Chains A and B, each alone.
Chain A
Amino acid sequence: MAAPKKGRSASAQSKPGRSLALILIAIVALTGGMFASGNTTPRLGIDLAGGTSITLRAVAEPGQESAINKTNMDTAVDIMNNRVNGLGVTEAEVQTQGNKNIIVNIPKGTNSKEARQQVGTTAKLYFRPVLTTEVSGAAATSPSPSVSGSPSGKATGKATEKATGKSTPSSSATPSATATSQGRAVTGALKADATPSATASSSAKTSASPSASSTSSGNAAAAKLQAQYTALDCVNKKQRATAGQGAKPTDPTIACGQNSSGQWQKYILGPAEVDGTDVKNAQARFNTQTAAGWTVTMEFTGKGSKKFGDITGRLAKNQPPQNQFAIVLDGNVVSDPSVNQALTGGNAEITGSFSQQEAQSLANMLSYGALPLTFKEDSVTTVTAALGGEQLHAGLIAGAIGLALVVIYLLIFYRGLSVIAIPSLLVSAILTYVLMALLGQAIGFALNLPAVCGAIVAIGITADSFIVFFERIRDEIREGRSLRPAVERAWPRARRTILVSDFVSFLAAAVLFIVTVGKVQGFAFTLGLTTVLDVVVVFLFTKPLMTILARKKFFANGHKWSGLDPKALGAKPPLRRTRRPSAPVDPKEA
């Protein structure tokens, strides 16, 4: 590999064989790589393979336009990826496009309606009190993480909690009321698990109005919820995904979560009391002071710290498991720390036997909840497999027709030079195909209809490079040079033209690729790729091959069929008249 590389710069002039060897090695290597990786065909886009493609646009809340940034978009993509693939959809892909769009591609044969619902909703993070929980399926509980205040939180913790709780009853009224009724219902249906102190302490403060609605409808709903809870099997992927679907934040719900030993646990959760937007910041941190290992610290907003103080204050007095709160992301419990004391300092730390990765991902999720992005469906395209196949077919036929027409034209017009032009086109085509197949895996490139169009249009650009080169050679021959010097003189000038014009073409492709969205991008990508390949092919294949063939008698002597016949080209004007009668051979025979 080293030798041909070294020779590359000189090869154009002196060692055509090396360039040819280089490009052949490249082709063989790439093709080998393609077969080795098992991707022998390019990945097809939704419009060719069938399926559903959803384009979502991020909408920032007023005054928070800067929220649409790369980090937030990437986060949103992660969440959506989890959601869609959580449905058991195979190979659904979620990616950002441009700076405010997310594309979700769902292949055919999956439930696109459900997927649409899933990705369309915004990521929501809630803190809900745990009413009851048990391991779903297999038994054995493991220690759950616990929350403690940061030093400052601890100091002020209890005093403030009590003060707030009593002086402003309304703040905690609604949630506790519901919690109470729920608690009772649950207990009734289950065992005497715990109606415990929570009921007593909080219902005392409860004002009349909030409880009215919740208690009347509460019992029936609670019984239903209990039934759902009993039926829920969190080990089942589908049940897990649909558990608690559509529950309003103000209603109690059921949910699943995975505990630290990897078992699925099911929960009945009270209404949400703190939501993700109340979390200002969350970070994974290695706690060196208390030897607690990896922990997650949360910082709440002003409003959030008050709410969090309330919930923790109440929960701290409860018996397990009702002293836990669940952090629920999109209906899944991502963590269920227990509370030891009220935390009102605006800071909290979740400890547990986290690994660094777990802490990091929990911190991420806590931050996700604060994501001020909602998404709007901008376009939804559903293509049946039948139409997709048809479009692919049509695109391929169009490409074949286009290529055939160009080949015929080259044969008529350049005769023997087609020996160079047609293999060059072929090399270009092979490289394009192989790279597309490889890029499908490497960067997620998917061949869609506009990309096919781009490739077809590129036939013209590729062929044009040969035309520029050949016309230059012919010009030199017309000036009376013999072929070999003509080729060497023509090349530097043709090279310049090819580079300049390909650069413009590439520039167009690059700008389109960066700026535009959706299908335009696929088109721009192919155009850019083929333009680059065009330069590679002309430099490493067309030119060296021309140099080699220029030594052959057939071309050097300007055989009638070589396309370089000096007489036919008019290099020696006086002879042209005598040649002419025999000249207009029907080109189609060529």
Chain B
Amino acid sequence: MSKLGNLGARLHRGEVGYDFVGNRKIWYGISILITITAVLGLAVRGLNMGIEFQGGAVFTTPKHMTASVAKAEGYAQDASGHDAVVQKLGDGSLRIQIAGIDTDKSDAIKDKLAKDLNVNSENINADLVGPSWGDQIANKAWQGLAIFMVLVVVYLAIAFEWRMAVAALVALIHDITITTGIYALVGFEVTPGTVIGLLTILGYSLYDTVVVFDSLKEQTKDITKQTRWTFSDVANRSINSTLMRSINTTVVALLPVAGLLFIGGGFLGAGMLNDISLSLFVGLAAGAYSSIFIATPLVADLKEREPQMKALKKRVLAKRAQAAAEGGPLEAETAHERYDDEPEDAAHAVVGPRNQPASRNRGRGRPSGKRR
């Protein structure tokens, strides 16, 4: 079996595992830092809104134009009386953006441009946008976002519990902030395609989170009836046991998007495909990260405040202390504070089974360089 298959097995048994919950403060910190950077980026640089949000026209000429960019810019300015931005795309066609023109005048401008550039005006693609169109799309998107958030919180609160709903919402906002922040910082152009991509992240980010929560809910069903593990331990185990799936899902989701990005960026140069896939790519990555590093630890945090869970934690800690005092081989209470991402440390797993010798050998027996 492949390396990942083995990793899956060890993750399942808890031999390897990363203490996501234990180290949550680090990840919260990182996330807060990123979020602050994103918000700062948004505030300082602002988003580079595409022509669709300002109103204006985008003309795309047929392929293999001989006219230079500067020349086309001149033509476009002559024709419209406004500043024009001209890009040469990968296939040799020109993309001419003119902001602030009226949709009524566009036909005349298009005809003039066609004449200057010496192409048939029928072969020029035109995208004319009234000044309020972009706002309308954006407003609708925000509206959709708000409605979706409310519905999803209600749904998650019913299907799981309110703490998970809150955590999922935080993770969602986190993803969206990061994605828009990256757009602001890098200066990618925001188009309706970007908005579509961003909205898709909604579904996807939550989709990922929900799967982890589902496993968490299952594993914590009878948590108060035992005294071996605290809620955080179990939460950590659920993350680790669904880690394989999370990785697989993210990879499988990113592969088609990567295909889109490759084709959209490399083949078409610019346009809808590219815009959608770019924001999807950024958002999916953020979504996978947040469902593991933010959402579940947050649930654990919230849960641990419950009196029931506090009592459980007390009992668990007391039992561990007792076991340690008796000199038992239990390593749980120390392992709780450490993490193992190296196979060699497999034996010190957070919540692993207790057949230590076997797993210790296993851990030693496999230097990581061996596969691949």
Q: Is B155 in contact with A381, judged by CB distance below 8 angstroms?
A: no
Residue B224 at the chain A interface, CB threshold 8 Å: no
Q: Is A450 in contact with B193, judged by CB distance below 8 angstroms?
A: yes
Identify which of A128-136, A182-190, A400-408 touches chain B: A400-408
| Known contacts A394-B267, A398-B264, A570-B6; is-contact A460 B249 (Cβ 8 Å) | yes
Residue A25 at the chain B interface, CB threshold 8 Å: no
Query: What is the CA–CA distance of A457 and B254 in the complex, to the nearest angstrom?
Result: 9
Which residues of A sit under 8 angstroms from B140, Cβ to Cβ?
A: 98, 515-517, 520
Q: Is A57 in contact with B136, judged by CB distance below 8 angstroms?
A: yes
Q: Is A478 in contact with B12, judged by CB distance below 8 angstroms?
A: yes
Chain B 210-245 residues near chain A, CB threshold 8 A: 210-211, 214-215, 218, 241-242, 244-245
Residue A471 at the chain B interface, CB threshold 8 Å: yes
Query: What is the CA–CA distance of A496 and B127 in the complex, to the nearest angstrom?
Result: 45
Query: What is the CA–CA distance of A369 and B86 in the complex, to the nearest angstrom?
Result: 45
CB distance from A432 to the nearest CB of B (A): 14
Chain A 350-404 residues near chain B, CB threshold 8 A: 376-384, 386-387, 390-391, 394-395, 397-403
Residue A504 at the chain B interface, CB threshold 8 Å: yes
Identify which of A15-23, A170-178, A579-587 touches chain B: A579-587
Query: What is the CA–CA distance of A380 and B273 in the complex, to the nearest angstrom?
Result: 19
Which residues of B sit under 8 angstroms from A493, Cβ to Cβ?
A: 218
Query: What is the CA–CA distance of A509 and B144 in the complex, to the nearest angstrom?
Result: 10
Which residues of B sit under 8 angstroms from A235, Cβ to Cβ?
A: none
Q: Is B253 in contact with A460, judged by CB distance below 8 angstroms?
A: yes
Q: Which of A503, A515, A569 contacts B155 (CB 8 A)?
A: A503
Q: Write the chain A residue with the least CB distance to B103.
A: A377
Q: Is B126 in contact with A508, judged by CB distance below 8 angstroms?
A: no
CB distance from B353 to the nearest CB of A (A): 9
Which residues of B sit under 8 angstroms from A583, Cβ to Cβ?
A: 1-2, 6
Query: What is the CA–CA distance of A410 and B267 in the complex, to the nearest angstrom?
Result: 26
Q: What does the 1/0 interface line of B103-128 toward A look like (CB < 8 Å)?
A: 11011000000000000001111111
Q: Is B13 in contact with A478, judged by CB distance below 8 angstroms?
A: yes
Which residues of A sit under 8 angstroms from B62, Cβ to Cβ?
A: 384, 386
Which residues of B sit under 8 angstroms from A467, Cβ to Cβ?
A: 245, 248-249, 252
Which residues of B sit under 8 angstroms from A515, Cβ to Cβ?
A: 140, 143-144, 147
Inter-chain CB contacts under 8 Å: number? 276
Query: What is the CA–CA distance of A416 and B140 in the complex, to the nearest angstrom?
Result: 46
Residue A93 at the chain B interface, CB threshold 8 Å: no
Q: Write the chain B residue with the least CB distance to A376.
A: B130
CB distance from B144 to the nearest CB of A (A): 4
| Known contacts A405-B259, A461-B207; is-contact A379 B127 (Cβ 8 Å) | yes
CB distance from B15 to the nearest CB of A (A): 9
CB distance from B261 to the nearest CB of A (A): 8
Query: What is the CA–CA distance of A438 and B226 in the complex, to the nearest angstrom?
Result: 56
| Known contacts A453-B196, A453-B276, A507-B152; is-contact A464 B2 (Cβ 8 Å) | no
Chain A 122-168 residues near chain B, CB threshold 8 A: none
Which residues of B sit under 8 angstroms from A47, Cβ to Cβ?
A: 272
Which of A463, A507, A570, A583 has the most chain B CB atoms inside 10 A of its CB? A570
Q: Which of A409, A410, A569, A573 contacts B362 (CB 8 A)?
A: A573
Q: Is A449 in contact with B245, judged by CB distance below 8 angstroms?
A: no
Q: Is B259 in contact with A471, judged by CB distance below 8 angstroms?
A: no
Query: What is the CA–CA distance of A512 and B146 in the complex, to the nearest angstrom?
Result: 11
| Known contacts A380-B106, A412-B2; is-contact A402 B132 (Cβ 8 Å) | no
Residue A8 at the chain B interface, CB threshold 8 Å: no
Q: Which of A376, A398, A507, A568 contacts B263 (CB 8 A)?
A: A398
Which residues of B sit under 8 angstroms from A584, Cβ to Cβ?
A: 2-3, 370-372
CB distance from A121 to the nearest CB of B (A): 12
Residue A283 at the chain B interface, CB threshold 8 Å: no
CB distance from A531 to the nearest CB of B (A): 8
Residue B8 at the chain A interface, CB threshold 8 Å: yes
Residue B332 at the chain A interface, CB threshold 8 Å: no
Q: Is B273 in contact with A391, judged by CB distance below 8 angstroms?
A: yes
Q: Is B256 in contact with A460, judged by CB distance below 8 angstroms?
A: yes
Identify which of B21-29, B175-183, B198-206, B309-317 touches chain A: B198-206
Which residues of A sit under 8 angstroms from B204, Cβ to Cβ?
A: 457, 460-461, 505
CB distance from A374 to the nearest CB of B (A): 14
Q: Is B193 in contact with A475, judged by CB distance below 8 angstroms?
A: no
Which of B122, B241, B267, B272 has the most chain A CB atoms inside 10 A of its CB? B272
Query: What is the CA–CA distance of A505 and B253 in the complex, to the nearest angstrom?
Result: 14
CB distance from B215 to the nearest CB of A (A): 8
Which residues of A sit under 8 angstroms from B8, Cβ to Cβ?
A: 471, 474, 569
Q: Is B255 in contact with A409, judged by CB distance below 8 angstroms?
A: yes
Q: Is A380 in contact with B128, judged by CB distance below 8 angstroms?
A: yes
Q: Write the chain B residue with the least CB distance to A528.
A: B203
CB distance from A299 to the nearest CB of B (A): 36
Q: Write the chain B residue with the least CB distance to A56.
A: B130
Q: Is A519 in contact with B155, judged by CB distance below 8 angstroms?
A: no
Q: Which of B136, B199, B248 contacts A512 (CB 8 A)?
A: B199
Q: Which of B2, B202, B260, B365 contacts A508 (CB 8 A)?
A: B202
Q: Is B268 in contact with A390, judged by CB distance below 8 angstroms?
A: yes
Q: Is A378 in contact with B130, judged by CB distance below 8 angstroms?
A: yes
Q: What does the 1/0 interface line of A489-521 toward B look like (CB < 8 Å)?
A: 000010011001101110111011001111110
Residue B195 at the chain A interface, CB threshold 8 Å: yes
Residue A527 at the chain B interface, CB threshold 8 Å: yes
Q: Which of B141, B155, B242, B355 contacts A507 (CB 8 A)?
A: B155
Residue A113 at the chain B interface, CB threshold 8 Å: yes
CB distance from A423 to the nearest CB of B (A): 17
Residue A63 at the chain B interface, CB threshold 8 Å: no
Q: Which of A55, A384, A412, A576 contacts B125 (CB 8 A)?
A: A384
Query: What is the CA–CA distance of A398 and B211 in the complex, to the nearest angstrom?
Result: 28
Q: Write the chain A residue with the least CB distance to B199.
A: A512
| Known contacts A379-B133, A397-B267; is-contact A505 B12 (Cβ 8 Å) | no
Query: What is the CA–CA distance of A133 and B130 in the complex, to the nearest angstrom?
Result: 43
Chain B 346-372 residues near chain A, CB threshold 8 A: 355, 358-359, 361-362, 365-366, 370-372
Which residues of A sit under 8 angstroms from B30, Cβ to Cβ?
A: none
Q: Write the chain A residue with the least CB distance to B251.
A: A409
Which residues of A sit under 8 angstroms from B129, Cβ to Cβ?
A: 378-380
Which residues of B sit under 8 angstroms from A509, Cβ to Cβ?
A: 203
Q: Write the chain A residue with the least CB distance to B256.
A: A402
Q: Which of B128, B199, B358 contacts A573 (CB 8 A)?
A: B358
Chain A 541-571 residues near chain B, CB threshold 8 A: 565, 568-571
**Which are the 10 A-B pairs with shortest beta-carbon distances?**
A402-B256, A570-B9, A568-B1, A508-B203, A460-B253, A401-B259, A402-B259, A398-B263, A515-B144, A405-B255
Q: 27 pairs across A/B with beta carbons < 8 Å? A: A98-B140, A376-B130, A380-B128, A386-B62, A394-B264, A394-B267, A394-B268, A402-B257, A413-B248, A453-B276, A457-B204, A460-B257, A461-B207, A464-B207, A464-B252, A497-B211, A501-B210, A501-B214, A504-B207, A505-B207, A508-B203, A511-B148, A520-B192, A524-B199, A570-B9, A570-B10, A576-B6
* Additional 14 contacts, C-beta under 8 A, given A379-B103, A570-B13: A380-B106, A402-B257, A402-B258, A403-B256, A409-B255, A456-B259, A464-B248, A475-B241, A497-B214, A503-B155, A512-B148, A519-B192, A565-B1, A576-B9
